[in-house]
Amino acid sequence: MMLSTDEIIQTMSSQGLRITDQRKTLAKLFAETDGYLTPKDVYEFMCKKYSGLSFDTVYRNLRVMEELGVIEQIVFEDGLKFRGSCNQDHHHHHMICLQCEKTYPIQFCPMTFADAPDQFQIVKHKFEVFGYCKNCREDRAGMNLTPATVEGEK
């Protein structure tokens, strides 16, 4: 499951971030959204509550929250999106459905097999798998779609 509003706020404040009203609102938005949000989605949501907000301010907050690990970013084919981080404390990765954008945890970590060059200090890594979940596969079969083939990806 994902981090709650309080867990997000606690993590941000324990790492020295000032908890402004806007950051509280962002924490609540990500804790209560069961999917991915584009920076534009977040900006539009925030504008309804705070007038005169600049896109840069919202985007900077997203960057800070991502750096603190309370939200995570995924690059989809149509751009960058964010979601609240999982509250599982053990390391894991994600399989993401390209249609409904539902996220499934996978416990396998490919880093075990990474042959890092000598002296290379690893600070972080990313591993994401994209596909179609069972429901979306059935939908797509119903529509007689051939599986999408994406150039350069297998």
**Using alpha carbons only, what angle is made at residue 116 by residues 114 and 122, rounded to the nearest 5 degrees?**
100
- Kindly state the tokens that stand for 37: 């949000």
Side chain identity, residue 4: S
67 close to 16: Cβ distance less than 8 angstroms: no
Nearer to Zn ion, 67 or 138 (CB): 138
Q: Which of residues 52-91 bind Zn ion (CB under 5 A)?
A: 86
Binding region for Zn ion (CB under 5 A) out of 37-45, 72-80, 128-136, 138-146 = 128-136
Using CB under 5 A, which of 19, 80, 100, 150 touches Zn ion? 100
Nearer to Zn ion, 18 or 124 (CB): 124
| Least distance between Zn ion and beta carbon 56 (Å) | 29
| Least distance between Zn ion and beta carbon 78 (Å) | 16
38 binds Zn ion (CB under 5 A): no
Using CB under 5 A, which of 97, 128, 130, 140 touches Zn ion? 97
58 close to 43: Cβ distance less than 8 angstroms: yes
If DSSP codes are grouped into helix, strand and coil, which group holds residue 36? coil
Binding region for Zn ion (CB under 5 A) out of 34-42, 43-51, 68-76, 133-141 = 133-141
Count of all residues that appear for the chain in the document: 154
Q: Measured between alpha carbons, how far is 92 from 103 in angstroms, rounded to an integer?
A: 12
E strand or H helix at 22, and its extent?
helix 21-32
Where on the chain is the footprint of Zn ion (CB under 5 A)? 86, 97, 99-100, 105, 109, 111, 133, 136
